[in-house]
Amino acid sequence: GGRVTDEFLSGTFPLGSATIGFLRIPNFTPRSANNAILQFWAEIDAFELTTSALVIDITNNGGGNGCLAELYMQSLARRPFW
């Protein structure tokens, strides 16, 4: 996620023998919600294959669509949540 069309900034870094994923979500008001959702799912799929842990950074996130934030969480949660 480093292209101008990417909704997120992402990457990996080594920590000891592990590889840590990093995903920055700057806001919940993307240019295109559908595009953001597809990008988010692709990022998570890639991280599941290549990393040991994931850091999701929402520092200074300006907020936005709460439903979109919930959809992202559903992609990460292993169990239903309220």
Indicate whether 81 pLDDT > 80: no
Mean pLDDT score of the chain, rounded to an integer? Answer: 92
How large is the average pLDDT for residues 15-41? 95
Segment of 5-9, 13-17, 31-35 carrying the highest mean pLDDT = 13-17
pLDDT of 37 higher than 70? yes
Distances from the Cα of 71 to the Cαs of 9, 32, 35, 64, 76, in angstroms?
A: 18, 14, 13, 13, 9
| The predicted structure's pLDDT at residue 1 | 63
Contact of 19 with 52, CB cutoff 8 Å:
yes
Q: Which residues, at least 6 apart from 39, have a Cβ–Cβ distance to it below 8 Å?
A: 1, 6, 7, 8
Confidence band of 9 (pLDDT split at 50, 70, 90): very high
